[in-house]
Structure 1
């Protein structure tokens, strides 16, 4: 399937509404399952990723009630216990579900079989699995070691501490932090690497909202979860997905309009809110009221280039790369070498697709450098990556002839992206 992006002939101010945060929804699903009692999650994201997570919890025996119309999920947890001591689950291509559920099952007594999509089989898991093995997990691999599918469980002979490297994914650390309560002992996680720590901060804040505080020692790079820590069941509101909102905010400078995304505020738990500071640097103006943040294009419609470190909000590297050709000077995106190991090699996706558009782009030691260029018609290769599809839709709003291959891979996190786009942009 191909989506032919229509150039916006008469730009107007944009008001968009995006789904709930994927990152917050999936963290809330796991924490609610580990809580004692019935939690109700409101404003949830319903997508391929979250549905795989929900289905997995149901397979594990958790009572789950879903109301997609009201965007609500009710989950009854059993204080860190899994109802079934054996089950088979499929995490699909959901990286968060894959890492979070693997940590939970790797610390739980029982025997659990986990499968995934072919895409997820290629994504990094080794550092998390090595840490779980040191914590007493027994893992039987069916094919390639440290890759899905495998069977996992724990005898309960836990260690008091473990090391984890987050250079390839901060989800490894978030997974261990959330699931640590299963062990019911004072437990220390020693961290190396710095990638994606804004997502770890989100994890820590959500854990605390549900009643568990991890003590952080930033000098030693460690976190301690105390024995007896317990999550309490909550009625919990999910924020709008800032990653999704950024696609619409990025339309502001390239179309020369004001953009409002309902419910987005600076106090967000999500690290991607920092992308708005990049837009400020590029010449946009920001205003916030009770309803949301408004992004306004520069009065002279110029878009400034520059250098930005996106290591703490790297999902927006694709978004920035997609609007970079319209800047008045070179755009350099740093701190993103790890995105080669996400849903696809995103560095390659950036350079390949920009090249197809006639835009000069080159890889650097830890990112990409993009030169101002006129965009020519082309087909965008999405590599089954939702963020490639949504990001590279943006140039087509300004230049004729951009076509998105396999556009509905965006259902992974934002299944009606193109419906929302057409409703609020054209």
Structure 2
């Protein structure tokens, strides 16, 4: 069975409609990933150009993980009678003959590393790929699909409960509660540097204003990681204390309100940005890093790493992610305002059912309320 090899020219000419800067960046990152995937997978992406660049980029990452797994799999190596193989060279016959046991092993691998929603999404991406290869593809010679056996159709995923109470319970212990978020920011501002070596201190002082701005924005607005990572100077409105972002389901930019402390931290960072990173004053991207004498936009991965680093230093038993900082903001917003529609708008949720999770956080206060009621009966 033959497959048209994908060339760099094919990849350069691969285009998907993009609506904003974030999707344009994901398209470029997708083009970087495609050469590491087998040719028949590239055909899948050509067939699915109507999907957003962000969705296709996420799928490419899922497939890269899967083919890396196959390249290290003993059954694969024994089947092709080789000691090693590159993921890009995995023959399509491996997918056609992949035993259910090996597919379930990959699912188990995911279960050990990721949350259930992420596992489900990655299995869903593979179901989509295998559905294309077994039903919608066409081999140039046979005019038939590449193969007919879809092993991932046999893989069942674990349904994630939509019960808002259960969803709230799942993350209540993984967020900052009460005034813990304020103490966390104060710790970074005043105490974190006390335990650093001279070299660590030098880099921390360079990045301090930037990192405080990032952490404050997560905790003071509920921004998503991608929204913060792709923030542009033109998106900032200091007069209205708001930031413009592109959100799913929105045709244009929407403005998200930010608390004054976070905007002050952002302003302080912008005052030192050019001096610390060497970028021009009018450089459109907001957050930068500096390496070997040149500056570049701060990546999503770098933002994730700095959140984990600081939260671990603050409390080794509570390592947070940007998403957990967003949960922290949402929980605090609900506790203070009891405004479900306002919170839904602030977070950019398309469904109030998702937002309602936060209305069930705060069981300690519920217990206290009942205790106070009991006291009235004495």
Normalised by the length of structure 2, the TM-score is 0.30
Larger Rg, first or second structure (1 or 2): 2
Work out which structure has the larger RCO, using CA pairs closer than 8 Å and 6 or more positions apart in sequence.
Answer: 1
**Greater percentage in helix:** 2
**Greater percentage in strand:** 1
Normalised by the length of structure 1, the TM-score is 0.28
